[in-house]
Chain A
Amino acid sequence: MTADQWRRVRELFEGAIDRTPEEAAGWVDREAAGDSAVRAEVLSLLEHHSRAGSFLDAPVTARVPDLLDEGDDEARLTPGGVVGSYTIVREIGRGGMGRVYLATDNRLARTVALKALAPHLTRDASQRERLRREARAAAALSHPGICTVYALDEIGDDLYIASEFVDGHTLREEIASGQRPSSDTIVDTARQLASALASAHARGVAHRDLKPENVMRTADGRLKILDFGLARIDSSAVGVDDHTHSPARALVTLPGVLLGTPAYMAPEQLNGQPADARTDVFAFGVLMYEFACGVHPFDAGTELARLARVLDSEARPLDVRCPHAPPAFAAVIDRCLRKAPAERFATAAEIVTALDRHAQDSPRRNLAWWRTHQLTVMALYIVAATVGWSIKETLDTRSTMWLFVVLGIGGAVAGIVRGHLLFTEQMNRTRLASERRRTRRSLLTVDLAIAAALFVDGLVLAQRTPLWAVMTMAVALGIALAAVLMEPATSEAAFGTSD
């Protein structure tokens, strides 16, 4: 049939369907009188049109609503069932790659997490080979922060990955709990996670699908990254050239895998470029940002808007959104979230280094000096008041009495103010700077008054017991020097400014 004939068929068909069937047949006969092929085609199509019933009536997704579900076409294993040398205990999860069971490995009588890979992942021979290779790479990783892969078992037609069973909860659950972690927890979590990633990066293995669902915390607080290096398995079901081996392509080549979220994918991954360690660095940044603030750095109304923001917009700086996070940590995360891979840390090892470096010159360590200073001075107030009391007891004169009053009241007031600063530092760090500014002058005045009173006490004592007098004056000088010299020094070390 020529293009002209087809056009004619279309015309006649369209003209005929508005008529009654009887009318239509006669009309087509007349119109297509000169061309029997056109006539036969139109009549055939009209006939099929009348018989087509609900054919293509509704969109396929309405008819087969579970088409994109990652199928129930995989067999489910029931508790007590035996697969190879494993006895199933119960199902513990379901992911893009298949179901995960708690099982016992009867050979070694140990508990394992057994992942039954979905059939659509293992049907193809080259795909199976790929899985073997990836599982080998994953099994070579040995780090306390990485869930160990024990074995890849081919049982019948199915593929199973047995790995360490990690009992705990995921970081997703921690984020969802709504409780924001302390800055110590944030830094500790970041460090544990980065070290585990670093050990894999050192072996040339990138995770490629790092997200809060894939990181578990055990009861004793240790982190474990799951599914290391296996994310890549998803790709290339429709085996094509190598640039498609990124999760972005994986997600599209295998619809069933989409159950996960691409919210942790780096811009280059979304653009279908290869994923490497720097892609993990980006995902690490997103994950830790979310962990610290409870909000995704590219948060938007819908998932798609979020993807667009990953590609196009800068993340809101961490220190703006979450002031309680240590500034040095915020700087590390901001660098992880750069759009251009070259501007990020090259591997997770660099993140560890950066976190450590910041930990060294971070306020945290130097705050210890400031805290010690506060506590020492508070102790000195007690010493001063005690000394004042015993001098008053020894030489009960009007002046020693008044000096003791100064020492007692001054020590109590200044002690309470310093206690307040320590409390603010622990509980409400953001207010600390202003509280320190507010109290600095009065503290200095009170300290000097206490030192003066104690010094005078020492002078009074001088005729009676010179040794005790000297010691009293020494404490007085100590308090004065602490206020004038040491306080500015420890403050500067802790906060970068002496005021």
Chain B
Amino acid sequence: MDRDTNRRPPRAQDVAPRVYDELRRIARAYMRRERPGHSLQATALVHEAYLRLAGGPGTPWHDERHFVGIAARSMRQILVERARARGAQKRWAGLDRVSLTASLVHAASEDAMLPALDEALERLEQIDAEQAKIVELRYFAGLGIEEAADALGMSPATLKRRWSLARAWLFRELSEQRG
């Protein structure tokens, strides 16, 4: 056992069980909100997030909250990349202003929106990193209000209000993009 420990990079080996537990928790959190039959997607996403964390360039995490944050970020990357690979930008650019706002309001063609949302999130991050974090936890990792509040160490009531702010800000950013 010692022999192996020396040869392996310590990072993944130290954290693997913890990574697993955390990801399971995240997966549970968002399988609850998913329609039955879509748990496969949840598993796949968690799976990829794990591989990204275990296989990626070392981002050592300090504690559980930090970890959840990193996992949520990799889920965001995975999903946005996937949307890009599907040619989301082209479809998004093809929407005129009216249908763009309509699709935002009705949450239609969300996959097409993802790259634009990702860029808007980057801008939001410049202004207020916590806001972007909340969006990652809620929208990309699918955490509920309580869980997201827990991950950020704030009260659920506060999180709910900040989440509203982030939503409003991003909605404006996306709907006025071509204004």
Contact = CB atoms under 8 A, between A and B. Distances in A.
A259 B12 CA distance: 23
Q: How large is the interface on B (under 10, 10 to 19, 20 to 34, 35 or more residues)?
A: 35 or more
Nearest to A17: B164
Contacts of A17: 161, 164
Interface of B: 1, 3-4, 7-9, 12-13, 16-17, 19-20, 23-24, 30, 33-35, 38, 41-48, 50-52, 54-57, 74, 78-79, 81-83, 85-87, 104-107, 110-111, 114, 127-128, 135, 138-142, 158, 161-162, 164-165, 167-172, 175
A441 to B, nearest CB: 46
Contact of B172 (A45, A59, A271, A314): A45
A143 interface: no
A302 B20 CA distance: 10
Nearest to B140: A60
Given A49-B167, A304-B47, A246 B55 contact: yes
Nearest to B137: A59
A104 to B, nearest CB: 31
Contacts of A268: 8
Given A45-B172, A58-B33, 10 more contacts: A45-B169, A49-B164, A49-B167, A60-B79, A60-B139, A67-B82, A120-B86, A303-B43, A304-B46, A311-B8
Interface in A43-73: 44-46, 48-49, 51-69, 71, 73
Nearest to A300: B20
B35 A55 contact: no
Interface residues of A, number: 67
Nearest to B74: A252
A190 interface: no
B139 A262 contact: no
A62 B34 contact: yes
Contact of A54 (B50, B107, B162): B107
Given A255-B82, A270-B51, A340 B43 contact: no
A67 B106 contact: no
Nearest to B78: A255
Tell me the dominant secondary structure on chain A's binding face: helix
B51 A52 contact: no
The 4 closest A-B pairs by CB, nearest first: A272-B55, A53-B105, A59-B142, A49-B168
B168 A48 contact: yes
Given A17-B164, A251-B48, A312 B16 contact: yes
B98 to A, nearest CB: 13
Contacts of A51: 105, 171
Nearest to B174: A55
